[in-house]
Structure 1
Amino acid sequence: IYAWADAFLYRPITMQRSNFPLSYPMTARTFLEKQGFINAETYSQRLEQEGRLDALKIDYPKKDLQFEQVENKPNILVITVSGLRYDALTSEKMPKLFEFATSSTQFTNHYSSGNTNNAGLVGLFYGLNANYTDSILSNHTPSVLIKKLQDEKYQFVAYSSTAFKDSLFKQALFRNVKLPKVKASSPKEARNGVLSLLKNDKPWFAYVDLDITDKTEENYTKSLADIDQQIDETLASVSLENTIVIITAEHGTTFNKLDEKEQENYFGRDEIQVPFIVYWKDLPVQEVSKLTSHTDLLPALMSSIFKVKNPVSDYAQGRNLFELNGDPWVLASNFRWNVIIQPDGTQYHIDRKGNYKKFDRTYTEQSSSRPPLGLFLEVFKQERSFINK
């Protein structure tokens, strides 16, 4: 029965882990593909769009959220650049963004929630670690932030240089959002056309999704110059009065030569440590070197802007980024690995089968016979806190 459910993506069975006696998650995809019952390419595309079959149901948020009355509703502009490394933000490589950052709050020890676009977006817009990506996709789970923006009657515009190709956008994040469309003959015209729809008579939320198209080491610096110009044009095309600007990346870029499986499980700093810039009148202009994560943004917006009364644990796994206290550890994940990162850059990796590795700041594996069990227990408790039991 499980083999049939796996082949035909029947989730009521595949999401069961240990509910039935004498059950075993047997698959027969290769056999069924040879017999012509399933098409491997179509099957993979559906998994990419809809999430892994063993993804559990998600309980998010845990309780209905209650809010105080919001008097001042600032505009919010979020810009993400897929592939932007933590070491890219310099006066030589990205002079315009570097200058903008000097008038903002920079979080210089900041990590994405994962090493893929979907994983990074889950951290930013859901406040959850990337283990929940497949559950969010398969359950079409909306973001509490997007829902609050809609409830507060924010104008909503979004532009993507990749036409929102990442499955999280259409499957969950923007599933119930009507995105405006504009006719344009160039990416610049399209981006500016979308942003020109914003009116200043009521608050607005704008999201600009950019991508470094050439991530090879030879052409990366040239690509950064193009992205620097795009960001500068975006900032110039909107009013920054009473506006929060957030600029970061879904994840970084590694120049190491990795095959597909190695890339999938690679969590070096070049891949998951990213720039994070916040421009807001209520934050000091400074560099914050304390450890922070993508999962800290949503609690900051929900608490500091929208005055949520619930504790953060009801709707997110991060901490309030705007309190500038930093985190004792942060988590980056994929469907196999949990990667615990400490303030000094030390990483502890543990997978679903209990395999354990330790890496230093340079991503050099270290010998370690005494894993930090107390830390692991703390992480495991938090990691499953939004699973529907």
Structure 2
Amino acid sequence: MLKIPRQYWEATSQKIAWGHWFAFFNIVCAILIGSRYAFIADWPNTLIGKIYFFLNILGHFSFIVFALYLLILFPLSFLIKNPYSLRAVGVVLSTLGLTLLLLDTEIFNRFHLHLSFLVWDILINPDNGDLARNWERFFVPMPLIFLIVMLFSRWSWDKLRSLERKKWIRKVAYGLMFCFIASHLLYAWADAYFYRPITVQKANLPLSYPMTARTFLEKNQLLNRDTYLDRIANSGRADAPYLDYPKQPLRYADRADRADKAAMQNILLINISGLRHDAITPADMPSLTAFAANSLDFKNNYSGGNNPNMALVSLFYGLNANYFDSLLNQREQSVWIERMQQLDYQFGLFVTAPFKSPLYNRALFQQQALNFNGLNQQSTQQWLAWHRQQNQQTWFSYLQYDLLGAMAAFAKQDPEAQQQYYRLQLQEIDRQLRQILAELSPDELAKTVVVITADQGYSYQPQNNRDNNYFGRDRIQVPLLIALPNQAPRQIEQISSQMDIVPTLMQQLFQVQNPQRDYSQGHDLLNSTSDDWVFVANQRWNVVVADDGTQYQIDSQGEYREYNAQYQQVNSEKPPLALFLQMFNRDRNFLD
């Protein structure tokens, strides 16, 4: 039997004892640096939320640091015989880790993201020299951190015998263990019962994966799964961040503040859910084709989301789809809708869809009556009856037609039969539009803004319409037609987005004086110079679409993909880092 010398065990035991104190020192340093997240992230407004924050920051960093010690430094205590070499390795690793943590706090401050390989590439991107030099200053404290860690390493080794006699360290260790367990139990409870002051802190700290216990609670009949899922559908995810929307109170020009009734214009917004970007043809939609010839026709327009729920955020708020859950949670109304209410617009809201979005009643139209129909013809007849009762009052009307539901009821056959059935549905929608547009007299049209668009296109591949992560052009590129009085009709090839509708109307009709970044992520389609890219999103993916149709996709975990205009994935060795940086800045603009 191999006999290990006693001297080896004593030396190893001494190195392990030193490693425990060194790990404790790094835990304290990590907590001190990590306390900066308290000044960056949402500060909870309840006592339980504050208690969770402190438990989480103490438990999380103590666990991460001690886990790294067990995985790296503890095994090296057996492999590296020289204690000076072991301490040198520990000092280097500690300095690197604490410096990266300091850098992560600043990244989170600017982008509300944590350090990842993609974010690191953006920071050191040579195409952004100024940005790279700006971040280099966070490595300036590195020598100071190295010096402090090295001094403690030497001091703790020399004082190891006296340190081992300290009794309080065991109580501290138990206390940190309690914080770690308690924070995860608190989060599991908050996640099950939608306690937002806790769940909103889910992504505040790096490498944070709080525990959920829904399955356990369901098995013990402490949680009803259907009720839980229904609450998510109607209130949004419980960990959705708080909003700062609008960023400043909106100011309007003097004439708009006086609410001159004679100068106010009616607004008719028609959303044809499922209308493809290539569907408006004289053969299938003659009425809409004629309307397009007399309006501003944006030929390269994209929805803000890849499903109808998400697209409503871009259509009514001018924000990307990532804000959907936050808007539901906070029941936040659109500044556009709020302004029309202030000016006493009469509302007529008619929706045809198999499922009514919770965004309508919970946030958008909290104070308005919404007419929900199962057939497109019913919505048309209700709108006609409503319009004839307006008596010269200024009005806003939202009319949604549903192509997606009609196609969902179609028995899937060969692609040619499916396309033929889709054309029949287009012709039916066109007949409804003919009645709507014919109802507006020339005098009324002269003071009415008509916007016709779609929240989502339709793919002839059925699986694409059901795939939550599909961003093909047939699904996200949609028509946008705007008839504005005193604007000559023309076709516009510049890339545009549904997020541009709100700032366009707010500036053209309501003379808002705030910069667009105070209330929207879009641009005024008529006055400002827009970017050569647009932003499409859902709850997982952020997608940048270039004006040539190329897509750059990044998900919440940092996975990157690139697609050409035909939605074929291509190999990309270097992501467009400068473009992603712009996207990150714009994406997080309205987080509190």
* Matched letter for residue 108 of structure 1: K
Contact 1:113 1:122 in 2 (8 A): yes
Corresponding position of 2:580 = 376
Amino acid at match of 1:49: N
Bigger drift between 292-301 and 191-200 goes to 191-200
Distance in structure 2 (CA, Å) of the matches to 1:75 and 1:145: 13
CA contact (8 A) 2:351 2:372 kept: no
Instruction: Specify the alignment match of 1:222 in structure 2.
Output: 424
**Residue identity in the other structure for 1:32:** L
Instruction: State the match for 1:293 in structure 2.
Output: 497
- Higher percent of residues as strand: 1
Deviation at 1:47, TM superposition (A): 0.9
Match of 1:138 among 318, 325, 329: 329
Give yes or no for the alignment of 1:209 onto 2:414: no
The answer to whether the Cα contact below 8 Å between 1:164 and 1:170 also exists between their aligned partners in 2 is no
What amino acid sits opposite 1:73 in the alignment? M
Q: Which residue of 2 aligns with 1:314?
A: 518
Residues 362, 324 of structure 1: alpha-carbon distance in 2 compared, 3 angstrom cutoff: farther
- CA distance in structure 1 between the partners assigned to 2:208 and 2:548 by the alignment: 44
Cα RMSD (Å): 2.3
Which residue of 336, 343, 347 maps to 1:152? Answer: 343
Paired residues, number:
385
**Does the residue aligned with 1:339 lie in a helix, a strand or coil?**
strand
Matching residue's letter, 2:229: S
Letter aligned with residue 39 of structure 1: N
Q: What amino acid is aligned across from residue 462 of structure 2 in structure 1?
A: K
Using structure 1 for the length normalisation, give the TM-score: 0.93
Q: CA deviation at 1:178?
A: 4.3
Report which of the two structures shows the higher radius of gyration computed on alpha carbons.
2
User: 1:82, CA displacement in angstroms?
Assistant: 0.8
Tell me whether 1:51 sits opposite 2:256 in the alignment: no
The residue that corresponds to 1:231 in the other structure is 433
Q: Distance in 2 between matches of 1:21 and 1:336?
A: 18
1:265 maps to what in 2? 469
Distance 2:209 2:480 in 1: 44
1:115 corresponds to which letter in structure 2?
A: N
C-alpha deviation, 1:40, in angstroms = 2.4
1:101 Cα deviation from its structure 2 partner: 0.9
Give the match for residue 458 of structure 2: 253
* Gaps in structure 1 of 5+ consecutive residues: none
Q: How far off is 1:111 after superposition?
A: 0.1
Mean Cα displacement is larger for which, 189-198 or 41-50? Answer: 189-198
- Compared CA separation, residues 307 and 29, structure 1 to 2 (3 A): same
Q: Is the 8 A contact 1:2 1:24 kept in 2?
A: no
Shift of 1:330: 0.5
Work out whether residues 156 and 206 of structure 1, in 8 Å CA contact, stay in contact via their aligned partners in 2: yes
The residue aligned with 1:170 is 361
Residue by residue over 1:205-233, the C-alpha shift from the partner in whole angstroms, topping out at 9 and shown as x without a partner, is 11111111322535211111111111121
Question: Which gives a bigger RCO, structure 1 or 2 (Cα 8 Å, sep 6+)?
Answer: 1
1:147 is aligned with what amino acid? E
Q: Provide the residue aligned with 1:14 in structure 2.
A: 199
Please give the secondary structure, in 1, of the residue aligned with 2:290: helix
Q: Following TM superposition, by how much is the alpha carbon of 1:325 offset from its aligned partner in structure 2, in angstroms? A: 4.5
What is the deviation of 1:186?
4.2
Q: Percent of aligned pairs with the same residue? A: 42
Q: List per-residue Cα deviations over 1:43-87 (Å, max 9, x = no partner).
A: 222211111111011110000000002352111110001111101
In the aligned structure 2, how far is the partner of 1:236 from the partner of 1:163?
27
Residue identity matched to 2:321:
A
2:514 partner letter? N
Instruction: Tell me which residue corresponds to 1:26.
Output: 211
In the alignment, structure 2 segments of 5+ residues that lack a partner are: 1-185, 411-417
Please give the TM-score of this superposition, normalised by the length of structure 2.
0.62
* Equivalent-residue separation in structure 1 for 2:362 and 2:485 (angstroms): 34
2:565 alignment counterpart: 361
Structure 1 position 32, deviation (Å)? 2.1
> Residues 257 and 211 from structure 1, CA distance in 2 versus in 1: closer, same or farther, beyond 3 angstroms?
closer
Corresponding residue number in structure 2 for 1:280 = 484
CA distance in 2, matches of 1:90, 1:316: 32
Cα deviations by residue, 1:351-370 (Å, 9 ceiling, x for unpaired): 11110000000100010010
Mean Cα deviation higher: 99-108 or 325-334: 325-334
1:5 lines up with 2:197 in the alignment: no
* 2:446–2:485 contact (8 Å) kept in structure 1: no
- One-letter code of the match for 1:77? L
Q: Hey, what's the Cα distance between the residues in 2 that align with 1:327 and 1:298? A: 16
Check 1:349–1:18 CA distance in 2 against 1; reply closer, same or farther (3 A cut). Answer: closer
Indicate whether 1:65 and 2:250 are aligned: yes
Paired with 2:353 and 2:522, the residues of 1 have a C-alpha distance of 28
Matches within 5 A, 1:162-201: 162=353, 165-179=356-370, 186-200=378-392
